[in-house]
Amino acid sequence: MRLPLRASLLMVCTLLSLAGTAQVARTRMVVLMGARFDFTIVAADSLSAERYIDTCIAEVSRIEFLISDWKPASQVSQVNQQAGIAPVKVDREVLELTERAIRISEQTGGAFDISFAAMEKIWKYDGSMTQMPTEEAVMKAVSKVGYRNIVVDRERSTIFLKLPGMKIGFGALGEGYATDRCRDMMISRGIKAGIVNGSGDMSTWGRQPDGSHWTVGISDPFERGDLYAVLPLRTSAVVTSGSYEKYIELNGKRYSHIINPATGYPATGLMSVTVFGPSAELANAFSTSIMVMGKEAGFKLLRQYPDYRCIMVSDDKKFYTSRGVHLKRYRVKT
């Protein structure tokens, strides 16, 4: 079972059952979609909270069996198996998720691309890689990457990958989508507050039982295990992409797991990007894209989306924030 080390957000919250109130919070951790998911539900009683957590787990499991590319029977795996051969009929949900991913690819000039999955055999982060891949191997894999070769037919509800050997993979974007789905499902059922954290892709709503905001700890990428700041979470989603937890070292140089789809090589320049906004799915797409695009292009991208904010940390240990993020106010380290 693969356990991605993407998560660099640590929840800092007090889960209380207060005298005189009718709210309790319950938390459970499970492994879904190859990642750690933490569910916190605030409800009228413990039994109800646990049942709603069960509902969330069932929803993430349902999504996993649609989009997980490592499950041979999933719809996305079937699309990959038929690359260069034939279109594959998929559920409208999978089709629309793919369409949204393609739109982000267009808006980021390909910095985000779900067809990067063809690179998975080139860069390995499980400890087995001992030397750099050859330039020929990288270029061969890059030739299979390109969102423009993903054909979506809305009328027939099919997806077709034009090139043999192409693959699509939703990865952490799928985790962000799943956390958003759980949040929206709970709100529709009248649940006033909670958190769904899919390996660092976090969707929240409401407040803690004592009325205070949920808070999120921003990890210090230069001091493993330490927090740099703790911020109140006033928006409903937060996602971090970073190069400091999942990487390989070859010939004295560190290579991140975030690959530039255009070059086939790990992105450089930024060590982490945290994005706040209404949707974990979109925040994930932005954080990944900005890691590839770099600071200036990243800020330019987010200016088109005023509901989203970010914190960037560069390889030379400098912190940058977009408008509306008051990082210094909430620092826990000097």
Return d(Cα 260, Cα 16) in angstroms, integer: 44
pLDDT value of position 180: 97
- Residue labelled with tokens 């190069």: 243
Question: Does the pLDDT of residue 4 top 50, yes or no?
Answer: no
More confident residue, 10 or 273: 273
Could you tell me the pLDDT band of residue 122, with boundaries at 50, 70 and 90?
confident
DSSP 204-222: EES--TTSPPPEEEEE-TT
pLDDT value of position 320: 94
The answer to whether residues 281 and 308 touch, using CB atoms and an 8 Å cutoff, is no
**pLDDT tens digits along 270-318:** 999 999 999 999 999 999 999 999 999 999 999 999 999 999 999 888 9
Helix axes 171-188, 46-67, angle to 10 degrees: 140
Pairing verdict, β 24-32 and 88-89: unpaired
Domains of the chain, earliest start first: 9-47+175-330 (3.10.520.10), 75-171 (1.10.3980.10)
**pLDDT tens digits along 36-62:** 999 999 999 999 999 999 999 999 999
pLDDT value of position 7: 35
Return d(Cα 253, Cα 251) in angstroms, integer: 6
